[in-house]
């Protein structure tokens, strides 16, 4: 129970810098209790990103490294967080899309403490899961 409480307190304090304290601790409790938080990946409707999703489906999950990269210089949203992927043994890093603007506070708070997986989305999209 102490470990659970510690995780909630740590995450709640990180979230409270981006939202009111009460909501931050409610969100922290939900995230920690469920063990993960899942977000849709926005921007994957572009043709090249659709091709990247199709190609990623050919690899085992442990062969795909996914990470989040803040983009404070983004012209549309200074809080933007890009979802980046790379395949083990592959060349380069690819920008798959973005965390929705409504979820960047949660993603930023969990980012350094989570393992990340790209999940199959609907026919044209993807989701990302951050396991706490």
With a CB cutoff of 8 Å and minimum separation 6, the contacts of 67 are: 84, 116
pLDDT of res. 60? 81
- For residue 28, which of 48, 58, 7, 45 has the smallest C-alpha distance? 7
User: 118 and 128 in contact (C-beta within 8 Å)?
Assistant: yes
Cα distance between residue 36 and residue 42, in whole Å: 19
Full pLDDT tens readout for the chain, 132 residues: 568 888 889 888 988 887 899 998 998 898 888 888 888 888 776 667 777 777 777 888 788 888 889 999 999 999 999 988 888 877 778 888 899 998 888 888 876 655 666 766 655 567 777 777
Sheet holding 115-120, edge to edge: 36-41, 126-131, 115-120
Of the CATH numbers 3.40.50.300, 3.30.70.2330, 3.40.50.620, 3.10.20.600, which one belongs to the domain with range 35-131?
3.30.70.2330
pLDDT of res. 115? 62
Q: What is the pTM of this model?
A: 0.76
Q: Report the first-to-last Cα separation within the chain, whole angstroms.
A: 15
The domain spans of the chain are: 1-34, 35-131
Cα distance between residue 68 and residue 84, in whole Å: 6
User: 70 and 80 in contact (C-beta within 8 Å)?
Assistant: yes
pLDDT of res. 123? 52
């Amino acid at each position: 129970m102490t470990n659970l409480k510690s995780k909630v307190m740590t995450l709640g304090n990180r979230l409270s810098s981006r939202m009111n304290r009460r909501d931050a601790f409610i969100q922290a409790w939900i995230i920690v209790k469920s063990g993960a938080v899942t977000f849709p990946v926005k921007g994957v409707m572009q043709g090249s990103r659709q091709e990247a999703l199709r190609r990623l489906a050919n690899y085992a999950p442990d062969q795909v490294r996914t990470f989040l990269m803040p983009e404070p210089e983004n012209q549309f949203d200074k809080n933007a967080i890009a979802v980046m992927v790379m395949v083990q043994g592959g060349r380069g890093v690819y920008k798959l899309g973005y965390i929705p603007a409504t979820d960047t506070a949660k993603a930023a708070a969990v980012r350094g403490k989570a393992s990340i997986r790209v999940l199959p989305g609907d026919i044209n999209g993807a989701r990302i899961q951050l396991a706490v």
